[in-house]
Amino acid sequence: MNNNPGVSRRYAQALLMLATEHKLIDKFQEELEAVLQVLATENKLYIALLDPRLQPQEKKELLNKQLVGKVSPLIENFLNVIIDKKREDYLPQIIQQYFKYADETRGIVEAQVYSVVSLTDKDFHKLEKRLAKVSGKKIRLKNIVDPSLLGGLVIKIGETVIDGSIVKRLALLKEYLQKQQLNGLEVKKT
């Protein structure tokens, strides 16, 4: 698999421009989710798409056969362009990048809350609303259980991390105590 994020971004941006122009951002997302589902369940199809021995027309026929009734002609044409440009190995990355751009366009931000145990529904929704209020955006929150935290929460919104875990608090306390210990030492002047 190639790992050039620029390729994925360019194709995803182009697709988002097309979706925006036709007011189909949500519809494209649904169809692309169907494409990912087909690729995940039809492993032989994805392997065939990556096979350099197959001609582009053969790959298009295989893919389009699996996607009949699941995607619009615009998405079908987009997938055909991906195959024509020999970017099939980027397809999952392009789709994920499209989801990210579509969320940004809709004002939705992905956020994760790490906790020792799963949050209750009430606490989850309360935190989701509070984060939305603070950020001024819609929040799509995911709770990730991490027993190494001991307690408290770590919240990640985009690139921002709010660490309220007990591990972090203990580290800060340790640092404070070390500073206090050094402050209590007298240094003789010579």
Q: Which residue spans of the chain are classified as CATH 1.10.520.20?
A: 5-104
- The CATH number given to 5-104 is 1.10.520.20
Residues 102 and 19: beta-carbon distance below 8 Å: yes
Q: Is the pTM for the entire model greater than 0.85? A: no
**How many CB atoms are located within 10 Å of the residue 123 CB?**
14
Residues 25 and 98: beta-carbon distance below 8 Å: no
- pLDDT tens string, the chain, 190 residues long: the values are 566 788 999 999 999 999 999 999 999 999 999 999 999 998 899 999 999 999 999 999 999 999 999 999 999 999 999 999 999 999 999 999 999 999 999 999 889 999 999 999 999 999 999 999 988 889 999 999 998 888 888 999 877 888 877 777 777 788 878 787 766 656 555 5
Residues 67 and 41: beta-carbon distance below 8 Å: no
